[in-house]
Structures are given as structure tokens and as C-alpha cells.
Structure 1
Amino acid sequence: MAASSGSGPPSPRLARKQTTRDQDIWSRARQNAAALWPDDRLDELIDTTVTRIKDTVGSRRAALAWSGGKDSLALQLLAAQAGITEAVLAITEELEYPAFLRWVTDHMPDDLTVVSTGQTLAWLADHPEMLFPQGNYGSRWFQIVNHRGQERYYRDRGLEMLLLGRRRSDGNYTGPKGADLYTNKRGVTRYSPLASWDHEAVFALLDRHQIELPPCYAWPRGYQVGTGAWPARQWTRDTDHGFEEVWQIDPDVIRTAAGQLPAAADWMARTGRS
């Protein structure tokens, strides 16, 4: 929800993350966040959002879909104020960055359940279209990992609502005709309390609470890509570009993959990496 003051919240200074590759732009936005969202304005936005969460969830059993990304960290703070602390993280079997897994171990919510959806290097070798997926394949990745893991948890826990950190300023779907709540064909109700928040409001909240971000935001195109398994790295120019970025982040990821993934072995051979 937007703040209810007469002047309203300031307009977002950042465009959609899909089109904002420059890390310096993100850094400047974070530096300016407190000026754009001073304490009184941010407090009003927080209070309005927490009240809306309580009113929307009501007596229904709800949990948080947690990715460790900046938006889910912001939502974690607000959901806790509304009394919602259970959370789920859906990940692959062996396609995650080791540095991210170490960070998760140290920073995950106390009530977090980790659900593995089972994707391995062998699976990736059998599904080459899912390596640095483009277009509809990118959406497919989130369906078979994030959505599938969340839905498994949703049914196992008998939930009636799952809270997401989706925001419309990133072009995310939050509901029909700009709504922040919807139920899909499989009966899973998803609610996005931060749907109308801008990037700077998220930064202002996290910085106020001195929340440490996962290491992915310091990596190449970190704010544009965000969290996720390394083969799901989005908006690469091509497969070679994807391998190059992952090599910059952690060469051992590619070295390990090359043992089972022909595309990784071929890239290493062509580029003289060892």
C-alpha cells in the first residue's frame, strides 16, 4: 500500500530492474533512499502496510515465501510485525551458489523451511534450454523451482495464503488489474503486500534495520539479477555471457559443472579456462 499522506510517496527513482544493469545506479539509489523516505514518511508507509497485511490475512493461516533477496527481507520485517513468521525457501538440489548457501545458513528466519525441488547437474544436462534461460524458459524456471517448491510447502502446511515480496515497479504480476492478491488455478492464494512499494522505500527500510544483504548484490549485475540458482541467471546475452559472469563470481562452480555439463566443459576449453 502507498502512504496515505496528501502528497503521497515520492516517485520511484529507479526503473524496472530488468532494464537497470548499472550497479552504480543502484548504489546511488540506496544512498538516496533515506532522503526520499525520511522516518515520518517511512513510518506511515510501514504502518499502512502492516495494517493491510493484518486485514487481508485475517484469521487465515499464512506464511512468507522467502528468497533472501532484498524484497523478501523487507517483507520479512513487515510480516513479523503482523504476526507472520513461518517461511519457505525453494531451491534446487545442487545448482545454488555456495556463497549464497553459506549466507542463508547464517541469516535465514528461525521458522524457515527449505524445500528442494531436485534439479541437479544431470537434470540440467538433459534440459539445455534451461541453462541461462531466455524468454519463456526463464518463466518456466521459476515455475518448476520457486512455484513448485512453494506450492508443496503450501499444501503440506495447510496454508490459506502465501505472502510474496513481488513489486509492480519490477514488472511483477501481483494480481489482475493491479491487485495485490490472487488465487491460481491450483488453489494457491498469493498476496504481495509490497506491490506498490518502490525500490528506494525497500532500501530505506532495510538500512534502518541494518539488514545485511546476500552476497549476490555485489556480483556482476547483482541488483538486476538478484538471488537464484546459477543456471537461472537472467538477461544474459547468450550462454557464453552467462558462463563468464558465473566464472567471475565463483570459478569452482563452473569447474564442478564441467564434469557433468558438456556446455560448461566446452566453454572452458574454448576460453582456455582451467
Structure 2
Amino acid sequence: MCYEKRPSRNPNEQVLLTAGALRKTAVTLEQMDGHLSAPTQATSLFDQTVIPGDIIVDLPSVANLRVGSGLRQDCFELLATKVGKLRYKKPNKYWLESSHKRYDPSAEDTILGIVVGRKSENFLVDIKSPSLALLPVVAFEGGTKKNIPKLEIGSLLYVRVVKANHGTNPELSCTDASGKAAQFGPLKEGYMFDSSTGLARMYVKLHVKLLSTPTCPVLQAFDMQCFEIAIGLNGRIWVNASTPSMVVLISNAIMASEFLSASQQDNMVKELTDRLQACCSVR
């Protein structure tokens, strides 16, 4: 093995190099300190559409920031990584809402899943995400390893997302936070159709009657007592009614209402209702 002898440096040169490194470090720290002490950059993008690369907020001005989907931290800035509407929840949670065919799981979302398989301790559920979700056999009200529910392949479930970490399969549950079944569980009969995540999110807000959301002519036009509806934030909607014609009517009205205004939705519902009545009178 050959070792190369390196010439020794002049002590004065070492002192100069050390002083230069210290000056460089001092300049860097001064720049960082100036950046960290920058005032809060209030953004006017809340509830507005942003595009990839838009600067959302100055990170040093926000403590304990919680970043949701569609956003990425880049040094001292929070940037948008996709097109969507910027949402904010007090005290410091930011995320983007966008409409996609594929679902990005998030904890506490209520979704519709289809059973596609089973392992020893979990059901495998398709939720329109990149990976299958896991539904533990004990994630039911009163569920134990000796009392496993009988779910066949293809069963439709209304479930809640419990865990959604990157790199792992999402975990689901058929109970609420208190362990009660509530409205979760298998959905029988009825008709399930796919939609965009944006349309499903809009109808979820309308269905729970949020004060910040305008009224929905499609849901108001039909008597809520004559049909059942379950809306998943993953872009799946289930409808059940007394007659198949009513199921088809409600499903078509929901699917066609995504890009219509309130007045256009009202006219569409009237037109569909007239067609249904005309068909029934002919029969």
C-alpha cells in the first residue's frame, strides 16, 4: 500500500484559513438570524386556487406548523406541489383540496371501501388509493378474534380511516372514536358509483349542513325520507331508494351536478323529474 506524503501547511496559513471559515460561518448565521426574525408574511391565498410553486406561508413566522396534502416544506417556505384550493384550520393547519380520481388517505376521513381479500387478522379493502387498506377483524363494535364478522369478497363498507402514514397501508375501522358502530359497517342493496374526490367532498359538506356551505338543490329537491345516501371522501357514493328508478334519478343528478351552479342544478333536477314522471305515465 502506498501512502502519499502531504506537505505541511504554514501555521500562518492555517490561522488565515480558520479566520476565513469563522467569518463565513458568522455571515451564514447572520443571514439565518435575519431570516428567522422576519415578520409574519400573511397570505391572501386562503380559499383560493394555487398552483405548484406558489409560496403559501413563511415558516419561521408559524410555530408548530401542521402540513397536509398538497404542500411541501422547502427550507424556510411552504410551497404548493399541486393545483388546488388552500384550506386553513386554526391554529396552524394548512392543506390543499383538489379533485382527483385517486384518493390520498387522511386520518379521520369517512370513506367507502370494497373488500377484496382477507388475511389472518385483517380484511384487505380497496379504497381507491395507491395501496390496499387494512381493516382489522376486531375493528368492529364488540369485535373479538372469536367473533369475526362474515364479510364476503365484494362487500361494500362505510368505514373510518384511523391511520394514514406514508410507506404503510392505511388502517380502517368500522367504529367511531368512542368504539361505537354508529353509521359504519356493511352497506347492503342500493347502488354505488364512483365520482371525483372534489364532488364527494362537496356533498359531504352539504350533507352535514355546514354553515359555510351553500344549500344544495339536488338534495333539497328530493325528500330525504325516501332514500338513503352514504358519501365517501374517496370519491364513492352509495344511494338506496324504494324504487330502482329513484336510485337512477338521484345518482344521475349527483354525477351531473359537479360543475353546475345552483340555478343550473335546480333546472336539471326538474328536467330529470319530468322525464321520470313521463316514463311512469307511459307505463
Q: TM-score scaled by structure 1?
A: 0.26
Larger of the two Rg values belongs to structure: 2
Bigger RCO of structures 1 and 2 (CA < 8 A, at least 6 apart): 1
Q: TM-score scaled by structure 2?
A: 0.25
Task: Judging by fraction of residues, say which structure has more strand.
Answer: 2
